[in-house]
A and B are shown apart, each in its own frame.
Chain A
């Protein structure tokens, strides 16, 4: 695929898109793991919500 004389701008745009989307996915995945770990730690200490105690 010939991108012509402005190839750097085109490649730069797609690289920016990949970097930003990858950053969003990584942020969400890391945050998910962190929240799950904190929740599990609290539950392991016996701290649970009333709805969970009732069930």
Chain B
């Protein structure tokens, strides 16, 4: 099947229906493997067992940024080609991104209290991730405020592109400013600074979270396509009603 055929919502729904059981199975398996590896991972020589929080905090942080990047890419489909499936992808991704950003913030606070002595500091990394969370809420609110999906998509696309400027700030905030948050220890030019016994479970959990995100996103896209069909049918019903203007 040519890739362009997937841009057809009906074909997309058919493909999603076929893929979904496999994706759910792969996600459950990946989490089972990841959690077994987490259980067997040693404590950190400085942080003790609290390093186990990293196995959910870091994948959540990666997804928080990755989902906004995905939304930013989808906006090109909206603004350049005006393709409805691009709107659907961006709209469906926003609540999932907000949830993973919230998880990143919550686990970060729960990790910060025993390690830093505080749940929160207004340093560049924490603040820029909080800004990302607020921008997710802003995009969700925008989608819900504007009734016409195509108009909402264009407004949300502009906000998404503006918000994408925050992504490099989040990534390099720990290098540009003096922050309480530690510098990058996995994705860095010199290679990971984490011992393989901790790095491997982290990567396994990252794969599990990625599969979870893909599964949830496809399911949410399917719902959004159905919602638009319902809206179209309701408009048709209203137009066909006796006494309507048309």
Chain B residues engaging chain A, CB cutoff 8 angstroms: 10, 39, 43, 48-50, 52-53, 56-57, 60, 95-96, 99-100, 102-103, 106-107, 110-111, 113-114, 212, 216, 219-220, 222-223, 226-227, 229-230, 232-234, 236-237, 240
Q: Which of A5, A9, A20, A28 contacts B102 (CB 8 A)?
A: A20
Q: Is the CB of B103 within 8 A of A20?
A: yes
Chain A contributes a number of interface residues (CB within 8 A of B) equal to 34
Q: Which residues of A contact B (CB under 8 A)?
A: 1-7, 9-10, 12-14, 16-17, 20-21, 23-25, 27-28, 31-32, 35-36, 38-39, 42-43, 45, 47-49, 51
Q: A16–B110 contact, CB under 8 A?
A: yes
Q: Are the C-beta atoms of B233 and A39 separated by less than 8 Å?
A: yes
CB closest residue in chain A, given B56: A17
A33 to B111, CA, bound (A): 37
Give the top 4 A-B pairs by smallest Cβ distance, nearest first.
A35-B226, A6-B114, A42-B233, A4-B49
Instruction: Please tell me if the beta carbons of B212 and A21 are within 8 angstroms of each other in the complex.
Output: yes
Beyond the given A9-B110, A21-B212, please list 13 additional residue pairs across the A-B interface where CB-CB is below 8 A: A6-B49, A10-B110, A13-B56, A13-B57, A28-B220, A31-B220, A31-B227, A32-B222, A32-B226, A39-B226, A42-B230, A43-B233, A48-B233
